[in-house]
A and B are shown apart, each in its own frame.
Chain A
């Protein structure tokens, strides 16, 4: 099935740095979601976006729903060790039960 293009695939950063990742699609979506997954665990919902142009924060995390409705961005400020994990974007349209997922960004913090 279709997947969202997520970049970068992996990031190696130092503690305290800011992080940016994005997700793009060839199709328009009404809703964008961002998840974090720790090894051996299920994805945990971080942020949900419902309106084009919307900017939403959750602590040190900020996500934006692109104005074209074909992309979304996630920023993490002042990274800490517990931010390590895999971040997924997901998107869907109202009336369609299936989510389309991004390929994931693996975040590693270098000591």
Chain B
């Protein structure tokens, strides 16, 4: 079974803090993704990576950056957290043209 883990299930941060969200997968998949999910807006792609040290902007990259130093790990960074970044963050992984698997999510609250 594919396993995608995220570093925290719940996180509370203050405005202006730097926030790191980590995602680890155990299936040697090439592609990894970060989404945010908000009521009424559905799933929106922030960034994705198709290889180590490679990254591509998704639909809403502003205010975020990513890092992929190892194949199994993909980090999402909020350089200076703001209240409008309060959301559910979901990591996902996929090998080639096959199924995409999601992690359990991190519920981030920025106060």
Interface residues, chain A, with chain B CB atoms under 8 Å away = 1, 3, 30-31, 33, 35, 40-45, 48, 88, 90, 92, 94-95, 97-99, 101, 103-104
CA–CA, A44 to B103, complex, Å?
Answer: 9
- Contact between B99 and A33, CB atoms less than 8 A apart: yes
A48-B98, A97-B48, A103-B42 in contact; A43/B90 too (CB < 8 A)? yes
- Contact between A48 and B42, CB atoms less than 8 A apart: no
On chain B, the residues within 8 Å of A1 by CB distance are 44-45, 59
- Contact between B102 and A43, CB atoms less than 8 A apart: yes
- Contact between B104 and A42, CB atoms less than 8 A apart: yes
Query: Chain A contact residues: over half helix, strand or loop, or mixed?
Result: loop
- Contact between B97 and A94, CB atoms less than 8 A apart: yes
- Contact between A98 and B104, CB atoms less than 8 A apart: no
20 A-B pairs whose Cβ atoms sit less than 8 Å apart in the complex: A1-B44, A31-B97, A35-B102, A40-B105, A40-B107, A42-B90, A42-B102, A42-B105, A43-B90, A43-B102, A44-B102, A45-B99, A45-B102, A90-B100, A92-B97, A97-B48, A97-B50, A97-B94, A98-B48, A104-B42
Name the distance in Å between B109's Cβ and chain A's nearest Cβ. 13
On chain A, the residues within 8 Å of B44 by CB distance are 1
CA–CA, A98 to B4, complex, Å?
Answer: 18
Name the distance in Å between B97's Cβ and chain A's nearest Cβ. 4
- Contact between A48 and B107, CB atoms less than 8 A apart: no
CA–CA, A5 to B102, complex, Å?
Answer: 22
B103 contacts which of A42, A97, A104 (Cβ < 8 Å)? A42
Q: Does B75 contact A (CB under 8 A)?
A: no
- Contact between B42 and A3, CB atoms less than 8 A apart: yes
